[in-house]
Amino acid sequence: MEIIDTPLRDVKLIRPQKYGDERGWFTELFNARTFAAAGLPQQFVQDNQSFSARGVLRGLHYQLGQPQGKLVRVISGHIWDVAVDLRPGSPDFGKWAGFYLKGEDLEFVWIPEGFGHGFVVLSEGANVLYKTTGFYYREGERCIRWNDPTLAIAWPLAEIGEPIVSVKDAAGNWFNDAELPPADSGILACP
């Protein structure tokens, strides 16, 4: 398993090794020792899966009070996944990084607590699976608008046109008005 640094400190791209022959293939998707050696969490408390049609854009989501780290993988289809550093005091505060994830590539993105997360579906549909380090906490659920001008995320929308966004996500806060994790929340590094 290869663990790759990204432009955002603490966000990692994880590339499992795939072994195959004429019968099919095998890969190890998670190994607690490998994750521990890379400074990544070894315990996840919830698995979530979503299916979205082409052009659906979800996010930018995060939780206050009970933050969630997310290990994101596409089971089928193709998405562009985004992480935004929302940790006041972080050298990367307000910066974002995007990753093309395809089901056949088996890659994961690790997004620690204190980051906003979103994605847009570029294929006809996409099944997205993500493991979380914290439980869903409705009272702490927050959203920043995907098209916030301060963040200026370069969503790859040329192939799909105007994205399909939920009413709730369309009503998210602007970055400059968003309630963010407190600077002393202790979430400036991987657990």
Q: What percent of the chain shows pLDDT beyond 70?
A: 96
Catalytic residue among 61, 62, 78, 117: 61
Mean pLDDT of 42-69: 95
- Does pLDDT of 133 surpass 90? yes
pLDDT single digits (tens) 134-167: 999 999 999 999 999 999 999 999 989 999 999 9
pLDDT at 190: 42
The answer to whether residue 137 is catalytic is no
pLDDT single digits (tens) 82-131: 999 999 999 999 999 999 999 999 999 999 999 999 999 999 999 999 99
pLDDT at 183: 73
Structural domains of the chain ordered from first start: 2-177 (2.60.120.10)
The answer to whether residue 61 is catalytic is yes
pLDDT at 29: 86
Catalytic residue among 62, 78, 117, 130: 130
pLDDT at 188: 57
User: For residue 168, how many other CB atoms are within 10 A of its CB?
Assistant: 10
The structure's pTM equals 0.90
Residue predicted with more confidence, 34 or 84: 84
Question: Residue 15 — pLDDT band, cuts 50, 70, 90?
Answer: very high
Mean pLDDT of 167-173: 96
Question: If you average pLDDT over every residue of the chain, what do you get?
Answer: 93
- Dihedral (CA of 4, 126, 190, 183) sign: positive
